[in-house]
Amino acid sequence: MATGTPTVFIQIWVDINAIQNGSTAGLYLVDNRVGNGSQNEGSTNLSTNVTNGTTIQWNVYNIDPTSTAVLSLTAIGNASVWGAGGQPQADGKGGFVGQVQVTGSASYQITLNAQKQPGSAAITLKVNPGITVQ
């Protein structure tokens, strides 16, 4: 179980007009670590650079703040850097929280669901950003 207060934040911004099942179009990832070596900010290839032991929080947001679209993070996949006890889990408030417990580089998968209107068919989106733990 991840411990600690999140200090690294990874935001997934969604253009609801552009998303499609099986595509990463309309998804943009940013973090608050560009001064610490993160790369590819603003893209689905975000590579986050953190120090070992850091607690990370992920959230998904709609670029259109007036939209009624329903967005939710549904899973963050396995990666070596989560170690034995840092696997990201739902925080009960719409985000996920995890902790890096092993140094190294890995990619991991984020899965989210989107409904363009409440009650409409869910679109499943997956992105595979990277993370480097030092």
Residues within the interface to another protein (CB under 8 A) = 6-7, 9, 11, 13, 15-18, 25-26, 28, 30-35, 41-43, 59, 61, 63-66
Q: How far is the CB of 125 from another protein (least distance, A)?
A: 14
Tell me whether residue 17 or residue 21 sits nearer to another protein (CB atom). Answer: 17
Residue carrying structure tokens 């669901």: 113
Tell me whether residue 39 or residue 72 sits nearer to another protein (CB atom). Answer: 39
36 vs 33, 67, 94, 118, 134, CA distance in Å?
Answer: 5, 34, 27, 39, 11
Tell me whether residue 17 or residue 109 sits nearer to another protein (CB atom). Answer: 17
Q: How far is the CB of 18 from another protein (least distance, A)?
A: 5
Q: How far is the CB of 122 from another protein (least distance, A)?
A: 19
Residue closest to 36 by CA, chosen among 56, 50, 47, 53: 50
Residue 134 CA to residue 124 CA, distance in Å, equals 32
Tell me whether residue 25 or residue 78 sits nearer to another protein (CB atom). Answer: 25
Residues whose CB falls within 8 Å of the CB of residue 12, separated by 6 or more in sequence, listed in order: 27, 28, 29, 58, 59, 60, 61, 73, 110, 112, 127
Q: How far is the CB of 7 from another protein (least distance, A)?
A: 8
